[in-house]
Amino acid sequence: MADCPSLERNLQDCTCTYEPCARKGKCCECIAYHRKSGEAPGCLFPKVIERTYDRSLRNLARVVSGQ
């Protein structure tokens, strides 16, 4: 993909804790990658849940519903 014009701003707000991630701050690439994998990006989860790396849609639904 092309260079991200918002990379520096995105990195300020990126909550992903997976450090070797090549898509960190490149939201379009991150969303496309996780969608293709049947997952949600880490930024949709609270930090404590994001650190578990369980990006499943089932886990997202559980978090959003408060269960």
11 inside domain? no
Residue 66 has a pLDDT of 86
Domain tally, the chain:
1
Per residue in 12-34, pLDDT (tens digit) is 999 899 989 999 999 999 999 99
Rounded Cα distance between 6 and 52, Å, is 27
53 inside domain? yes
Give the range of the structural domain holding residue 48, as residue numbers without chain letter.
39-67
Q: Is the per-residue pLDDT at 2 higher than 80? A: no
For 67, half-sphere exposure in the C-beta direction (CA atoms, 13 angstrom radius) is 6
Residue 1 has a pLDDT of 52
- Higher-confidence residue: 41 or 66? 41
Average pLDDT in the 38-53 region?
92
Residue 9 has a pLDDT of 95
43 inside domain? yes
Under DSSP, the state recorded for 39 is B
Two tokens at 20?
């070797």
- Are 21 and 11 within 8 A, CB to CB? no
